[in-house]
Chains A and B, each alone.
Chain A
């Protein structure tokens, strides 16, 4: 049963600390997405990659957030320095990346990382 995996599942840190979240997309998927979920804003897209190349990170606060895909099996989201307002659940999702009709591409979500910044 292929699934997106995320680590850690929970993270509590203090303001100013660096946070790194990791995601392993489903094998064979070539699109990876990072979402953030909060009560106030709901689900927001932060960034996404296709074939490991960043296509859009306009949803991400540029000064403190960075997203990378060192290889096809690992995506990372870093926050440095972290702030209390970054407290949220961060989801990674992956999709096959169907060319031509990209609106049909189903995204499969990981279990999320619940981040609390004190």
Chain B
């Protein structure tokens, strides 16, 4: 069975600092995709970044990067230069090819001035 684990219920970071949100996954499928979504207080789910299991390089999208360590089955999200608007819930998710996204429980990030 596929599983996503996010062990940090909450994280605090000061504005302009970098923060790493942890995500570990469990699957026996060799092909999978890993996704991060942001859910601000307004409630919508915003796609941030994607990493494929066969991708050789870590994915980057602006201030977001995904630290993919396949042997450790981890896919941590790194946000550089945090902004107040980054305060939100962040969900890690995995898709193993049946188009079902399995989500973690989320990490609430609070960015302070």
Instruction: Tell me if chain B binds chain A.
Output: yes
Interface residues of A (CB under 8 A from B): 31, 33, 42-43, 45, 48, 50, 55-56, 89, 91, 93, 95, 97, 101-112, 114
Interface assignment of B105: CB less than 8 Å from any CB of chain A: yes
- Greatest chain B CB density within 10 A among A42, A107, A112 is at A107
Interface assignment of B60: CB less than 8 Å from any CB of chain A: no
Q: Which A residues lie within 8 Å of B43 (CB)?
A: 89, 111-112, 114
At the interface, is chain B mostly helix, strand, loop or mixed?
loop
Question: What's the minimum C-beta distance from A90 to chain B, rounded to whole angstroms?
Answer: 11
Among B37, B50, B106, the residue within 8 A (CB) of A109 is B37
Number of A-B contacts (CB under 8 A): 66
Could you list 9 A-B pairs, sorted by A, with CB under 8 Å?
A: A45-B100, A97-B99, A102-B99, A103-B31, A105-B99, A109-B44, A112-B43, A112-B44, A114-B43
Tell me whether A107 and B50 are in contact (CB under 8 A): no
Tell me whether B44 and A111 are in contact (CB under 8 A): yes
Interface residues of B (CB under 8 A from A): 29, 31-33, 35, 37, 42-47, 50, 52-53, 91, 95-101, 103-106
Among B42, B95, B103, B104, the residue within 8 A (CB) of A102 is B95
**Given A45-B100, A56-B100, A89-B43, do A105 and B91 touch, yes or no (CB 8 Å)?**
no
Q: Which A residues lie within 8 Å of B33 (CB)?
A: 103-105
Question: What's the minimum C-beta distance from A8 to chain B, rounded to whole angstroms?
Answer: 14
- Greatest chain B CB density within 10 A among A50, A89, A105, A108 is at A105
What would 8 more interface pairs be, CB under 8 Å, given A43-B101, A111-B42?
A: A31-B99, A33-B99, A55-B99, A102-B95, A102-B98, A109-B47, A112-B44, A114-B43
How far does the alpha carbon of A55 sit from the alpha carbon of B100 in the complex, in Å?
Answer: 11
